[in-house]
Amino acid sequence: MSTEDLSLTDTIQEIAEQQRVYWNSPEGDKWVNNQAVLDRMFVPMTEILLEKSNVKAGEKILDIGCGAGTTTGLLAHKVGARGEVLGVDISTALLVAARAQIKENHVQFIEGDAGTVQLPMRDADLIFSRFGVMFFADPAQTFSHLRKYLKPSGRLCFVCWGARQDNPWFGAPYDVITSRLGELEPPPPRAPGPMALARTDYIQEILKAAKFDNIIIETQDVDLISREGPEHTAEFMMSFGPGARVLSKFDVDNETKQLLSNDLAERLKTFMVEDGLRVPARLHFVRATNPR
């Protein structure tokens, strides 16, 4: 192995460790506390993803980045007692919540990095993920590793975010914060994070490298649904979610945080509807198959 290869391996391992630490930190715990809010927001894309996954009774499914188990439970209902669903996540806290929520005998959960974890399920019919694949330290290697657990002709189906400029949920807080506090140095290209798979050519590249066939990427505009008004939603975005990640790069006092939250609330008023907010999102729904 060359010095360059060793350096790349070290970088990948470092990124993987950073993800493990984040998802098992107090920041990761916020995902548990806000899961109900996120589940309501994600209803439209979850329904689309389930439809595209074409889940059948009796199937065996891997739910990657299963979080607190909401999608795992929906999949378990679709496959029925003759099927099996295995939820995989890197966060201890989220899996504790998942196990408390989902108790069906045909459901299991396992903690681990999707790129290295050894799974008890073999010959799965489907690998499924709702926003769980953008954080892989080495996407091509991780998809290749997961493909080993699919049966020949087995399916892959996931949804991921498009570009930041097409997703106000991420773009609005970024613009508000940087307009007042200054621009940030852009992250390394394709760095793990919500926008890591924003480019469809990159998705094609990594899935081909992982030896998947019949790759189909459908980009759709779907609304994120919030029952709260713009002020409450802005505070949510600044304390958790996309705004919090950007804000963590700056040292700001509470007065500045409130000022930024007020700015963001003004922007969010654009998306007000009778029952709350509908924030447009551009998403990639991706399907592929394991070669026969």
Asked whether residue 5 carries a pLDDT value surpassing 80, the answer given is no
Return the bridge partners of 7, or none: none
For the record, the structure tokens of 292 come out as 């026969």
Residue 14 forms part of a structural domain: yes
Closest by Cα among 127, 135, 146, 144 to 207: 144
User: What does the angle CA 273 – CA 222 – CA 287 come to, to the nearest 5 degrees?
Assistant: 165
Alpha-carbon torsion, ordered 223, 224, 228, 232, to 10 deg: -130
Residues 264 and 244: their CA atoms lie apart, in Å, by 12
DSSP class of residue 184 equals P
Q: Is the pLDDT of residue 1 over 70?
A: no
* 183: DSSP letter: P
Residue 25 lies inside a defined structural domain of this protein: yes
Please report whether residue 130 resides in a domain: yes
In a domain, residue 71? The reply is: yes
Which CATH number does the domain housing residue 198 bear? 3.40.50.150
Are 73 and 101 within 8 A, CB to CB?
A: yes
Region 61-88: mean pLDDT is 97
Would you state the pLDDT for residue 173?
Answer: 94
Q: Provide the domain count of the chain.
A: 1
What average pLDDT is seen over the chain?
A: 90
How far out from the chain centre does Cα 206 lie? 17
- Asked if the structure places residue 178 within a domain, the reply is no
| E runs forming strands in the chain | 60-64, 84-89, 107-111, 124-130, 150-161, 213-226, 272-273, 276-289
Look up residue 153 and give its DSSP letter. Answer: E
Domain residues for the domain of 74 are: 3-164+188-220+279-289
Contacts of 130 (CB under 8 A, 6+ apart): 42, 45, 46, 49, 65, 71, 158, 159
Structure confidence by residue, pLDDT tens digits, 188-209: 778 888 999 999 999 999 999 9
Q: Is the pLDDT of residue 119 over 60?
A: yes
Kindly state whether residue 235 falls inside one of the protein's structural domains: no
Would you state the pLDDT for residue 187?
76
Share of the chain above pLDDT 90, in %: 73
234-282, pLDDT tens digit by residue?
998 888 778 888 888 898 899 999 999 999 999 999 999 988 899 999 9
Cβ distance 137 to 12 under 8 Å? yes
Confidence of residue 78 (pLDDT cuts 50, 70, 90): very high
Residue 12 domain-assigned (yes or no): yes
Where is average pLDDT lowest: 142-156, 185-199, 207-221? 185-199
Contacts of 179 (CB under 8 A, 6+ apart): 263
- CA distances 204 to 187, 197, 212, Å, are 21, 10, 9
Does some domain include residue 206? yes
